[in-house]
Structure formats: C-alpha cells, structure tokens
C-alpha cells in the first residue's frame, strides 16, 4: 500500500469527514490524493507525526485535542496561528513542519459568505477555550464583533485565552456558574467538546437574544444538542459547523496545492447527508 501524503490527526477521528472532503477537492483539481485519518491521543502525537513525515507525509490537518500540540511542534507558524496559539494545518517544508490555522478563515467564510451574516458589533458569547475556540475568538474579533465574553468549564483556560488576546476593553471572562446572570447575546459560539463527548450542556435560554445566531463548531450528531437548545430558546439561526469544516479544508487545500476548490457542491452533498437535527 502506498504511504499517505496527507492525513488528519485527532482523537477520536473515525467520524471525520476530512478524507472525503479532500478527495472531492482533489477530484475537482485533477490531483490524486492519498489522504487518511489517523487516530492518536495527545501523548503519542509527536511520535505519530514523526513517523508520518518519515514515510512520505507532506501535509496534515489537526483536530481535537491536538491543535495546541501542533503549534508547539511547528518550526514556523503563520501570523494567525501565532496569535491563536493553535495549528490545524501542517505543511512539510524541508525537514520541518510549518503551521497554519485555517479554522478562523473557515468560520468567517461560512458565516459571512454562505449565510450572508453581518457580524459587526454583535455581543458574543464563546463557550470553550481550546484550540478551535482560540481561532474563533481572533477571527470573530477581526470580523468586527463587539464585546466577547469567554466562558470555559476550566476558568483558568478562559483567562489565559483572554490574556493572550490582549483586548481588555472588548474581551472578558466569566465563570460557568454565572451564565444565567450574563444577559443575552447576539452571537453564541459553542467551541466545547461536549457534543463530541456526548455530554449535555445545561445552558439557560436567557442567553439568546431575539434573532440571535447560535453556532456549534462541531457538526452532525455532535451538534444536535446545542442546535436543539438554540432553536428551543428562539434563536434566529441555529447552525452546526459543517460549513466551517468544508471552508477550513478548502483553505488547507489551497496552502498545499496552490488552488482553492469550489466548496458549495461539497458542502451541499454533505449537508444532504447530515441534517442539522435528526428526523423521525
């Protein structure tokens, strides 16, 4: 069997759509890809990544829970990855890895391009403070949101993220137990791993302002609980992260191959297979 040129690393990873997405992009561009999913826990990531590079690896995507590890393993990083402190795209350059972060661009492209949303001045709640949350925070601030409130179940991680952003007048942290007292938000982004872990988030309906946008960075079954909560709370839009997944993959593809694929047909096919909520 030919060694893979590209891969996505994560744990768990069996649910990943990245191999299908990149195969579709490769077909569009006339590029033959050997892209696989590699399940690896954090403690084994360094060894697995080194083995992948030695065998022929040219590029890799990185997902939960390895994005901050990927940042540390990168000899050079893009400006956005440096700001986020997290890497989701690795490119082999000579004998080292260059790290990029396409999550932020993917999120904004989905929200403003596919869904035509204006993010400016929105009071925003970010749930979570891991690698995906870090990229989302910087991208949303760059896109012009107003106040950003970060809440994480481990509050020290939220504080660390806010400190790294360095905008104390726009970015604040609160405790998870204080959610009911925070008022309402125009944009709520769920960047926690709760859905992937099949955990339930107990969130008060009062967080959702009229016509608010609620967005889960997870997709498919992992986002069902949050999307159902948002709809029950009266959100104007309740979306999962499928569009972000496809858009960030297209950004990675462009880094590796020099051409950005057409994302709409790939997104639409997957959306047909993955409705926002399960139906009877």
As annotated, the active-site residues are 67
229 closest CA partner among 130, 139, 131, 125: 125
Please say whether the beta carbons of 170 and 141 come within 8 A.
yes
DSSP assignment, residue 2? P
Please say whether the beta carbons of 54 and 61 come within 8 A.
no
Sheet holding 185-190, edge to edge: 171-174, 148-151, 124-127, 185-190, 208-216, 237-239
Tokens read off for 233? 């709370």
Q: What are the residue ranges of helices labelled H in 74-223?
A: 79-84, 103-108, 131-142, 155-165
């Amino acid at each position: 069997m030919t060694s893979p040129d590209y891969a996505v690393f994560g744990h768990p990873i069996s649910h990943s759509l990245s191999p299908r997405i990149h195969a579709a992009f490769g077909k569009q561009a006339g590029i033959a890809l050997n892209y696989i999913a590699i399940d690896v826990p954090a403690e084994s990531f360094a060894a697995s990544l080194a083995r992948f590079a030695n065998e022929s690896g040219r590029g890799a995507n990185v997902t939960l829970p390895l994005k901050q590890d990927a940042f540390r393993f990168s000899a050079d990083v893009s400006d956005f990855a440096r700001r986020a402190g997290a890497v989701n795209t690795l490119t082999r350059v000579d004998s080292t890895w260059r790290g990029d972060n396409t999550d932020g661009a993917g999120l904004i492209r989905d929200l403003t391009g596919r869904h035509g949303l204006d993010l400016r001045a929105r009071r925003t709640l970010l749930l979570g403070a891991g690698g995906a949350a870090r990229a989302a925070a910087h991208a949303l601030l760059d896109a012009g949101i107003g106040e950003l409130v970060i809440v994480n179940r481990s509050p020290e991680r939220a504080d660390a993220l806010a400190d790294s952003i360095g905008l104390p007048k726009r970015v604040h942290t609160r405790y998870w137990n204080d959610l009911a007292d925070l008022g309402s938000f125009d944009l709520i982004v769920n960047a926690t791993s709760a859905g992937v872990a099949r955990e339930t988030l107990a969130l008060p309906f009062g967080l959702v302002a009229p016509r608010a946008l609620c967005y889960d960075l997870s997709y498919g079954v992992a986002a069902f609980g949050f999307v159902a909560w948002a709809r029950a709370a009266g959100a104007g839009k309740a979306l999962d992260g499928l569009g972000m997944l496809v858009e960030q993959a297209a950004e990675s593809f462009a880094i590796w191959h020099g051409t950005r694929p057409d994302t709409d047909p790939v997104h639409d096919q997957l959306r047909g297979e993955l409705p926002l909520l399960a139906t009877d």
